[in-house]
Amino acid sequence: MWRRATSLSSLIFSSSRRPLRDQQGAYSLKAWEFFCAEPFKGEGCLSKEKNLFITFVLGGPGSGKGTQCAKIVENFGYTHLSAGELLRQEIASNSEDGAVILDMIKEGKIVPSEMTVKLLKKEMESCDNGKFLIDGFPRNEENRIAFEQIIGAEPNSVLFFDCPEEEMIKRVLNRNEGRVDDNIDTIRKRLKVFAASHYPVIEYYSKKGKLYKIDAIGTEDEIFERVRPVFAACKGAH
Ligand SMILES: Nc1ncnc2c1ncn2[C@@H]1O[C@H](COP(=O)(O)OP(=O)(O)O)[C@@H](O)[C@H]1O
Ligand SMILES: Nc1ccn([C@@H]2O[C@H](COP(=O)(O)OP(=O)(O)O)[C@@H](O)[C@H]2O)c(=O)n1
Ligand SMILES: [Mg+2]
């Protein structure tokens, strides 16, 4: 069950251009309740003193996660951690893990969670900012559980960019960043992995009332206008 099916999401992400005034008021109040919950104080290896405020950013390959994260950072002062980017940096470092990771990425497979969470943890620990956008993670239940166990934190909220497969394929093939996995064969494998593994994660956060499903079709700016109210409602709270 999506949040969209409930009052909040239908208000935030409805295609209606001008929500009614009282609807906007209701939305603001609810968004405040959901998004501005007490920041999580890390209880795992991350300092207990650090107030963590975590948003997971999910969606298939090419759904626009990275593009929208850049806009959120610019407007709302988050630190962006892309799981895929951290894995690519690990490959570039020529470490032992890097060799394993390269093989997995070429095949469109999900890298063992402890490797990915180790990289996320290192970044989170070395960052003064406690507000994190974690992009492309968790991609499956194993990722989700490993994060909870190793970091000792849960996300405050989860964005899910909902995009049709044909649009994702088109965008990835046009991405032109020289990635080893942005070719049609690997994309098809990644889409299969995505279809097989993302739903339980989405469902888990939906049941917790933390999921915000966003229609990922439109221009980058149009999509950001669907994202903005979610963060704007909370600006100044952290
Ligand atoms: N709304 C959009 N419409 C068309 N192209 C987009 C849109 N958002 C992002 N793109 C482009 O699609 C490609 C994939 O976007 P990206 O943000 O890297 O997605 P993801 O991180 O989900 O794989 C990039 O080349 C990006 O410039
Ligand atoms: N949590 C994650 C994130 C990415 N990855 C790997 O890294 C690849 C690229 O991830 P990405 O998030 O940069 O890809 P996009 O969705 O941005 O296209 C994935 O296809 C996986 O092989 C992973 O194994 N586990
Ligand atoms: Mg990306």
DSSP annotation of 163: -
Kindly state if the Cβ of 109 falls inside 6 Å of ligand 2: yes
Q: Evaluate whether residue 77 is within a structural domain.
A: yes
pLDDT of residue 37: 59
Kindly state if the Cβ of 65 falls inside 6 Å of ligand 1: yes
Q: Evaluate whether residue 158 is within a structural domain.
A: yes
Pocket perturbation via mutation, ligand 1, pick of 63, 67, 224 by most ligand atoms within 8 A of CB: 67
Residue 140 has phi, psi (to 5 degrees) of: -155, 180
> Cβ atoms within 10 A of the Cβ of 198, count?
18
Q: Evaluate whether residue 109 is within a structural domain.
A: yes
CA dihedral of 175, 213, 218, 165, whole degrees rounded to 10 = 50
Instruction: Kindly state the tokens that stand for 234.
Output: 């909370």
Nearest to 118 by CA among 201, 204, 44: 44
The pLDDT tens digits of the residues spanning 182-193 come to: 999 999 999 999
Position in ligand 2 atom list of the atom nearest CA 83: 3
Kindly state if the Cβ of 66 falls inside 6 Å of ligand 1: yes
Q: Evaluate whether residue 173 is within a structural domain.
A: yes
Q: Per the structure, how many domains does the chain have?
A: 1
Q: Evaluate whether residue 107 is within a structural domain.
A: yes
C-alpha 180 to ligand 3 mean position (Å) = 13
Give the rounded distance of the alpha carbon of 170 from its chain centre.
Answer: 21
The pLDDT tens digits of the residues spanning 52-82 come to: 999 999 999 999 999 999 999 999 999 999 9
DSSP annotation of 181: T
C-alpha 149 to ligand 3 mean position (Å) = 24
Pocket perturbation via mutation, ligand 2, pick of 113, 115, 151, 190 by most ligand atoms within 8 A of CB: 190
Give the rounded distance of the alpha carbon of 29 from its chain centre.
Answer: 23
DSSP annotation of 44: S
Site of tokens 């968004």: 31
Q: Evaluate whether residue 17 is within a structural domain.
A: no
Q: Evaluate whether residue 18 is within a structural domain.
A: no
ipTM over 0.90: yes
Closest ligand to 117 CA?
2
Kindly state if the Cβ of 136 falls inside 6 Å of ligand 2: yes
**Higher pLDDT pick, 51 / 223:** 223
19 by Cβ neighbours in 10 Å (0-12 / 13-18 / 19+) ranks as middle
- Give the residue numbers spanning the domain of 93: 53-232
Nearest to 150 by CA among 119, 185, 189, 191: 119
CATH of the domain at 57: 3.40.50.300
For residues 48-83, one letter each, b for 16 or more C-beta atoms within 10 angstroms of the residue's C-beta and e for the rest, the string is eebebbbbbbbbbbbbbbbebbebbeeebebebbbb
pLDDT of residue 1: 39
Q: Which residues surround ligand 3, an ion (CB under 5 A)?
A: 65-66
Q: Evaluate whether residue 35 is within a structural domain.
A: no
The count of residues in the chain is 238
The pLDDT tens digits of the residues spanning 167-219 come to: 999 999 999 999 999 999 999 999 999 999 999 999 999 999 999 999 999 99
pLDDT of residue 232: 86
